[in-house]
Amino acid sequence: MQTLQLLISGVAQGMIYALVAFGYNITFATSKTLNFSLGNFLMLGGVVGFILYMTHNWPFFAALAAVVLVGMVGGAVLLKVAVEPSLNQRSAYGWILATLAVGIVLRNAAEVFWSTDDFKFRSPLGDSPWRFFGEPQPDGSMSGGLGVYPQEVLIIFVSLAIVAAVELFKRRTVFGKAVVAVSEDKDTASLMGIDQKFVILFSFMLSTAIATVGGVLVAPITLVSATMGTVLGVKAYSASIIGGLESGFGVVVGGLFLGVSESLTARFVSTGYKDVPGFVVLVLLLLFKPSGLFGRAAIRKV
Amino acid sequence: MAEPLLSIEELVVDYGRIRALKGISLSVGQGELVAVIGSNGAGKTTMMKTISGLLKPTSGRVMFDGKPLTGVPAHRVVKLGVAQVPEGRRVFAQQTVRDNLVLGAFLRLRSGQKREVAEDTERMFSIFPRLRERQDQLAGTLSGGEQQMLAIARALLSRPKLLLLDEPSMGLAPVIIDEVFALIERLKAARDTTLLLVEQLAFRALEVADRAYVIEQGSIKLAGSAKELLANPSVQQAYLGAAATH
């Protein structure tokens, strides 16, 4: 029972890694750049959500909509201000520093203009755990058995829904197919009449919007702070390397693996070692299968 | 001749410090099939990519249907009615055959011509039965010849006024090359698509073309009707000796 509870917490944490990793995957596919500020976009989502929902008492869905909007605008600004200029300068890796810099600017801005403290974020579904299989008490409540935070359930379902929606969009819609075409071959995609710049802009806006939603989702579990995204961004990056950066399905598996291994290690070994299994697997994969578990070699025939 | 559909005037294109096209001029009339022949590295693909907007010329201009194409980005050139079958086919290997065709009709589907595109796709399937059989397969798993057919069908689905065919014989077995040229002949006979064909296999290209240009090291060396060029001794010596054996 306890293991099941740990698994659920691990899966919830893992889905957050998976969401951010999925964001890395989306922009990497279309632009071949990685947006290293994604962890701090998650923080931005958490902080903006906190200010609107907790401080100003907006309805939850209004706050969430505003967060999505902030994420989309943020992604567009990031692309225009940081990524495009460094791509135009023919510096092969300028975008690494540029996106890292945007992340640092976001974090410092949150510290300067908002707060350096940690805050509690109330879950829209309530903060007392749902109990299953417990002993009913005379007053109607339950004790023992399996306790699950409603927010964990929300995280799992919303994240899966986001990933499934994006994957369906890529496979089923004409514009989605155009996004995949740009990922595969930009020049040929533009010979089909596809505006590759627009597709890349779209992919940045989508990935940052997903990350900001991730911030609102994870906030009730981790607390909100200006630094909440820093480590998360790095771990999500590990998740995407483990799963294979090129594979939308792979990054989800990578995220789940990290989340579950953390929660099981924290309980059965020591919280101090909770990051070890994930990083050991990361190093092993980098040594023996650098394309990741689900990274595939492209089919190419000439 | 009436106003040509495509005219290229003094086109100069540089790759960094290397001048790939040294001021070429040519024209393609409505409904014509014009071939450009020349050896590897003569500048044929550079010319095609400049017409379709993938490369920007240093100077000179490209006029299509009375409008300048120079400086127009590639995705807008398609909208004006120019489709390119790129060198090496460049099908989207990781998408299905059907999805490749959908992408070929991208602009038409976005402007709501769903039914017309479905009809045209059906027509493509009747011209290329192999594509119908394999519509759910990944395009990367097709043979070279099938990929070439897919690339042509994909380009035709944008309903272009002008179709640019860049080296359609590349890497194909002679039997398959026969099929590709039979198709080109068929497109020519229909006369509703104007064709600009770039080919290393000079003999094949001159057999089907109305007119042709010979390009060497970034300049046009000869121009004339395909018949004249086939009979031209210097063309025969330089290009037809090896190609004629195919």
ipTM, two decimals, is 0.92
Q: Which residue on chain A is closest to B105 by alpha carbon?
A: A192
Domains in chain B: how many in total? 1
A-chain residues near B107 (CB < 8 A)? 192-193
In a domain, B52, yes or no: yes
Residue A299 to residue B140, Cβ atoms within 8 A: yes
A46 CA to chain B: closest CA distance, Å? 36
Distance from CA of B228 to the nearest CA of A (A): 34
Interval A124-154: pLDDT, tens: 998 888 888 777 777 767 777 788 899 999 9
Is B157 a domain residue? no
The mean of the pLDDT values for chain A is 91
* pLDDT band (50, 70, 90) for residue A302: very low
Pairing of the two strands A146-148 and B194-199? unpaired
- Does B141 touch chain A if contact means CB atoms closer than 8 Å? yes
pLDDT at A296: 65
Residue B113 lies in a domain: no
Across the interface, do A194 and B141 touch by the CB < 8 Å criterion?
no
| Long-range residue pairs from A286-292, CB within 8 A, at least 24 positions apart, any chain | A286/A241, A291/A244, A291/A246, A292/A240, A292/A241, A292/A242, A292/A243, A292/A244, A292/A245, A292/A246, A292/A247, A292/A250, A292/A254
Query: Which of A170, A184, A191, A200 should we substitute to test contact with B (largest number of B Cβ atoms within 10 Å)?
Result: A191
Residue range(s) defining the domain that contains residue B170? 6-93+162-243
Residue A133: what pLDDT?
78
Phi, psi for B64 (deg, rounded to 5) = -130, 125
Separation CA B204–CA B191 (nearest Å): 19
DSSP output for chain A: -HHHHHHHHHHHHHHHHHHHHHHHHHHHHHHS---TTHHHHHHHHHHHHIIIIIIS---HHHHHHHHHHHHHHHHHHHIIIIIHHHHHTT-TTHHHHHHHHHHHHHHHHHHHHT-SS-B----TT-SSPEEES-EEPTTS-EESSEEE-HHHHHHHHHHHHHHHHHHHHHHHSHHHHHHHHHHH-HHHHHHTT--HHHHHHHHHHHHHHHHHHHHHHHHHHH-B-TTTTHHHHHHHHHHHHHH-TT-HHHHHHHHHHHHHHHHHHHHHT-GGGTTHHHHHHHHHHHHH-TT-SS--PPP---
User: For A187, which of B54, B141, B155 is closest by C-beta distance?
Assistant: B54
Which residues of chain A neighbour B140 with C-beta distances below 8 Å?
Answer: 298-301
Residue B40, domain CATH: 3.40.50.300
Nearest to B7 by CA among B93, B56, B69: B69
To the nearest whole Å, the CA of B26 is away from the closest chain A CA by 22
Q: What is the pLDDT of residue A137?
A: 77
In a domain, residue B149? The reply is: no
Interface contact flag, A189 B103, Cβ < 8 Å:
yes
Q: Which residues of chain B fall short of a pLDDT of 50?
A: 242-246
Distance CA B63, CA B202 (A): 26
In a domain, B209, yes or no: yes
> Would an 8 Å CB–CB cutoff place B73 in contact with chain A?
yes
Kindly determine whether residue A184 and residue B95, on different chains, have CB atoms separated by under 8 Å.
yes
**Span A69-89, average pLDDT:** 92
User: Over the stretch A263-288, which tens digit does the pLDDT of each residue have?
Assistant: 999 999 988 898 898 889 899 988 98
Residues A179-217: pLDDT tens digits?
A: 999 999 999 999 999 999 999 999 999 999 999 999 999
What pLDDT, on a 0 to 100 scale, did the predictor assign at position B1? 52
Chain A residues within 8 A of B104 when measuring between CB atoms: 192
Q: Please, which pLDDT band fits residue A290 given cuts at 50, 70 and 90?
A: confident
Please tell me the predicted confidence (pLDDT) of residue A297.
54
Looking at the domain assignment, is residue B236 inside a domain?
yes
- Say if the Cβ atoms of B92 and A175 lie within 8 Å: no
**pLDDT per residue as tens digits for the range A211-266:** 999 999 999 999 999 999 999 999 999 999 998 888 888 899 999 999 999 999 99
Whether B176 contacts chain A with CB within 8 A: no
Distance CA A74, CA A81 (A): 10
Amino acid B76: pLDDT:
96
Task: Using an 8 Å CB-CB cutoff, list chain B residues near A181.
Answer: 92, 95, 103
Which of A192, A195, A197, A302 has the highest number of chain B CBs within 10 A, making it the mutation to test binding with B? A192
**CA atoms of A247 and A163, how far apart (whole Å):** 12
**Do the domain assignments include residue B101?**
no
The partner residue sitting opposite A185, judged by closest CB among B90, B109, B158, is: B90
Q: Which of A185, A187, A192 sits opposite B106 (nearest CB)?
A: A192
pLDDT bracket for residue A301 (50, 70, 90): very low
Q: Are A301 and B102 an interchain contact pair (Cβ–Cβ within 8 Å)?
A: no
All residues of chain B having their beta carbon less than 8 Å from the beta carbon of residue A169 are none
- From the list A174, A194, A298, the residue facing B94 with the nearest CB is A298
Alpha-carbon distance B104 to B78, whole Å?
10
Contact of A37 with A100, CB cutoff 8 Å:
yes
Distance CA A256, CA A251 (A): 9
Q: Note whether A174 contacts B141, CB cutoff 8 Å.
A: no
Q: Which residues of A touch B166 (CB under 8 A)?
A: none
